[in-house]
Amino acid sequence: MELLKNHLKATRKNEILWLVFSKITFLPLAILIAFLITGFLIILILFFLVCLVLYLTTFSIWRDHLNKRFGEASRFIEILESKTDTLKKTFQDLFRTQLPKNVYWIDFEIDPTSFEIKTLIHSTEPNSSIDISTVENSLTDLLKVDKSIIMKYKKTGWEADDNIQLSLELAQRWFTKVWVDEVSDEYKIRATFSVMSMDGHLDLKSGKWEDTSVFFGKPLQ
C-alpha cells in the first residue's frame, strides 16, 4: 500500500535529520566554533579526530539501527497488505449489519501488547443486546500475536518500544484507508480507531486525532 510506504519513507527521513542535527553535528560544530574563536591548531586536529570517530562508530551504529528498524516496518507493511481483503470484507459485513438506532459510536481499539483489535460499542442503552460477533471475531484475530512474543521482543533493546509505536502508526493508517475506501459516507454511526491505554482516538471519517469523550457522541436521529 503506497500510503504506508510513503509514511515509512517520511518517518525514516525525519529520524535521519533528527539524528544528524541533534546527535551527530552538535559536538563537531561546537569544536569548530571553538577553533574559529581561538585559532588553536590543536582544536582543529581534535575536530577531525572527532569526525573520524563519529564516522567509524556512531554512523555505522545508527545505520544498522535504522536499517533494522525500517526493515522490520517494511515487513509489517507486507503483513498488513496481505490482510487487506479480510479487513475489507469485515467492514462490508459491518455496514450491512442493521444496528439499533441507540448505537452512536463504534471504537476499534488495538492492544499494543498483543495487536488484538476489540470492537467497543457505545449506545444510549448500555444493556441492550447487540450482536456483531462475526465482525468482532474477524477483527480480534486479524493482527493478533501472542503477548509473550511482544514481551520477549521488548527485551531485545531500548528501540523496541519505538518499533512497536511505528507499527501501531502503520496499522492505524492502514485501518483508516481501508475504512474510507470501503464504508459509505452514509454510514451514520461515529467510528474511531484508538490504542489501549492511550488518550484520544482517530476519527475514521475525518482522519483527525481527537480527545472527545464518548459522552459527547450523538445517537442516530
pLDDT at position 142: 92
- What parts of the chain have a pLDDT lower than 50? 214-221
pLDDT at position 221: 31
Largest Cα–Cα distance in the chain? 80
pLDDT at position 24: 61
pLDDT at position 178: 92
* C-alpha grid cell, residue 68: 533494522
* C-alpha grid cell, residue 93: 459485513
pLDDT at position 111: 93
pTM metric for this prediction? 0.75
Name the nearest CA neighbour of 132 among 111, 108, 114, 112. 108
pLDDT at position 30: 77
pLDDT at position 20: 67
Looking up cell 471519517 gives 205
pLDDT at position 25: 67
pLDDT at position 86: 94
Kindly report the length of the chain: 221
Return the H-helix or E-strand segment holding 17: helix 2-18
The string of DSSP letters for 83-130 reads: THHHHHHHHHHHHHS---TTEEEEEEEE-TTT--EEEEEEESSTTS--
pLDDT at position 115: 93
